[in-house]
Amino acid sequence: MILIGVVCLPLLTYGADRFVDLLYERDIVLPIPSGDYILRIVVQACLYMLLALGLNIVPGFTGLLDLGYVGFYLVGGYTAGLLMARLGWSYWIALPLAAIHGAIWGLLRGAPTLRLTGDYFAIVTFGFSELLFRVVKNEEWLIGGPNGFVNDIPPPTLFGYEIYKYWQQYYHILILLALTILVVYRLQNSRVGRAWAAIREDERAAESMGINLREYKSIAFAVSAAIGAVGGAFFAQFQVNISAGAFEFWESIFILCMIVLGGVGNIKGAIIGAGILASLGELLRIIPFGGARYLIFGIILILIMRFRPAGLLSMRQQN
Partner 1 sequence: MSQFLEQIINGLVLGGIYALIAVGYTMVYGIIQLINFAHGEIFMFGAYFAFLCVTTFGLSFWFALPLSMSLCALMGMLIDFVAYRPLRNAPRLSALITAIGMSLVLQNLARLIWGARWRKFPAEATPALLTGNAISLPGGAQVSFLDIFIILLAVGLMIGLNRLIYLTKIGKAMRACAQNRVAANLMGIDTNRVITVTFAIGSALGAVAGVMVGLREVTEPAMGYYKGVAAFAAAVLGGIGNITGAMFGGVILGVAEALGAGYISSEYRLAIAYIIMILVIIFRPSGLLGKSTTTRA
Partner 2 sequence: MKNRARSTVLLVICVVTFVMIMGFSLAGCENRNEIKIAVAGPFTGSVAAFGEMIKRGAELKAKEINAAGGVNGKTLTLLFEDDTGKEKEAGLVAQRIAGNRQILAVVGHFNSACSLAGKPIYQRAGIVELSPGSTNIKVCEGSDWTFRNLYRDDFQGAFVAKYIKNVLGENQKVVIFFDNDDYGRGLKDGFTEVAEQLGLEIIATEAYDRDNTDFKAQLTSIKAKHPHLIFISGLYSQAGLIASQAREAGITAQLFGADGVDSPDFLEIAGDAAEGTYVSTPFVFELGGPEAQRMAMAFEEAYGIAPDTWAALTYDAVGMIVEAIEKGGENRKAIRDHLASINSPEKGYTGITGLTYFDENGDCAKPAYVKIVENGRFVPAAEQMLGME
Beta-carbon contacts of residue 300 (< 8 Å; ≥ 6 apart): 280
Binding partner selected for residue 119 from partner 1, partner 2, none, CB under the kind-specific 5 to 8 Å limit = partner 1
Counting residues that bind partner 2 (by CB under 8 A) gives 45
Distance CA 104, CA 93 (A): 17
Closest CA to 100 of 217, 215, 214, 230: 230
The yes or no reply on residue 175 touching partner 2 (CB under 8 A) is no
Between 19 and 294, whose beta carbon lies closer to partner 1?
A: 294
Options 7, 22, 30, 179; binder of partner 2; rule CB under 8 A:
30
Kindly state the smallest distance separating residue 175's Cβ from partner 2, in Å: 21
Which member of 113, 169, 180, 237 binds partner 1 (CB under 8 A)? 113
Position 146 contacts partner 1 (CB under 8 A): no
Strand partners, 266: none
List b or e across 24-41, with b for residues whose CB sees 16 or more CB atoms inside 10 angstroms. Answer: eeeeeeeeeeebeebbbb
Q: How many residues does the chain have?
A: 319
Scanning 109-117, 178-186, 255-263, 275-283 for contacts with partner 2 by CB under 8 A, the matching segment is 275-283
Looking at residues 230 to 259 of the shown chain, list those that interact with partner 2 (rule: CB under 8 A). Answer: 239-243, 245-246
Asked if residue 124 binds partner 1 (CB under 8 A), the reply is yes
Nearest of 44, 1, 37 to residue 17 by alpha carbon: 37
Q: What one-character-per-residue DSSP string does 29-58 give?
A: ------HHHHHHHHHHHHHHHHHHHHHHII
Euclidean distance between CA atoms 2 and 19, whole angstroms: 23
Report DSSP state, residue 59. Answer: I
Site map for partner 1, 31-70, x if CB under 8 A?
Answer: ----------------------------x---xxx-----
Q: Quick one: 140 or 162, whose CB is closer to partner 1?
A: 140
Asked if residue 194 binds partner 2 (CB under 8 A), the reply is no
Residue 103: half-sphere exposure toward Cβ, Cα within 13 Å: 14
The pair phi, psi for residue 145, each rounded to 5°, is -155, 165
* C-beta closer to partner 2: residue 35 or 60: 35
Number of CB atoms found within 10 A of residue 318's CB: 13
**Least spacing, CB of residue 208 vs partner 2, in Å:** 41
- Note the residues at the interface with partner 1 (CB under 8 A): 59, 63-65, 112-113, 115-120, 122-124, 126-128, 130-131, 134, 137-138, 200, 203-204, 249, 253, 256-257, 260-261, 264, 291-295, 297-302, 305-306, 309-311
- Note the residues at the interface with partner 2 (CB under 8 A): 1-2, 5, 24, 27, 29-38, 40-41, 44, 137-138, 140, 145-147, 149, 151-152, 164, 239-243, 245-246, 279, 281-283, 285-286, 290-291, 293-294
